[in-house]
Structure 1
Amino acid sequence: MPSLSWIYLAAAIAGEIVGTSALKASQGFSRPGPSVLVVLGYGVAFYCLSQALRTIPMGIAYAVWSGIGIVAISLIGFVLYRQRLDMPALLGMGLIVAGTLVINLFSGSSAG
């Protein structure tokens, strides 16, 4: 079972994904519902990230948080907003996933 810090990090990632997805839907904060989701999503993200940083090294936490967030937001953009992903984008995201896996599977620095 993952430690509480890694659960906080997962919640931070989820909050960031919700906030960023709602940011596009807010249309420049002109739509109240999505705008509230932006604020709540990022609030959850930063609170949970701050809790995760109690034991997970900052560089590791941020690499995992941003890496997973980049891939998830790109996929959401593709599915919900029909934003195209070309081969260089897909290759780059593959490298991000590979880097995140290397950190989590092989780095002693990631032990929380």
Structure 2
Amino acid sequence: MNNWLFLSVAIVAEVVATSALKASDGFSNPWPSLLVVAGYGAAFFFLSLTLRTIPVGIAYAVWSGVGLVLITLVAWLLYGQRLDAAAIVGMLLIVAGVVVLNVFSKASAH
């Protein structure tokens, strides 16, 4: 169970870092820039712990799929990014793919 907790921490750290990347203004703003470096460092550290037991393809699919949806929500809430119907349907398909991988695939480590 710790593996999924580690993956969750990696996802949240990556979302925080990516959110701060915009605010860093090309690394010219020091505090958001520091958050970017720390966030990505934490994300890769916890992802590496995850990969001890969860196959890399599964872990990366979950990380990228959930991370994409979360960062899009953050961009919508914080930066006013607009989402059209195609974007929403696409994200739902990504979430569905992650669910299928974890619920129905024998490749996933349960």
TM bucket (normalised to shorter chain) is over 0.9
Alignment partner of 1:32 out of 27, 30, 33: 30
Q: Where does the alignment leave 5 or more consecutive residues of structure 2 unmatched?
A: none
What percent identity do the matched residue pairs reach? 61
Q: CA deviation at 1:87?
A: 1.1
Distance in 1 (CA, whole Å) between partners of 2:64 and 2:12 is 11
Structure 1 gap segments, 5+ residues each: none
Matched residue SS, 2:89: helix
Alignment counterpart, residue 19 of structure 2, candidates 18, 21, 34:
21
Per the TM alignment, residue 70 of structure 1 is displaced from its structure 2 partner at its CA by: 0.4
| Deviation, structure 1 residue 108 | 2.2
Distance 1:14 1:45 in 2: 8
User: TM-score, normalized by length of structure 1?
Assistant: 0.95
Aligned length: 110
Query: Which amino acid counterpart does residue 46 of structure 2 have in structure 1?
Result: C
2:40 to 28, 39, 42: 42
- Look up the equivalent residue of 1:82 and give its one-letter code: G
- Structure 2 residue aligned with 1:109, among 84, 88, 107? 107
Normalized against structure 2, the TM-score is what? Answer: 0.96
1:25-72: CA deviation from partner (whole Å, max 9, x where unpaired): 111111111000000100000000011001100000000000000000
Match for residue 10 of structure 1 among 8, 11, 19: 8
Superposition RMSD in Å: 0.8
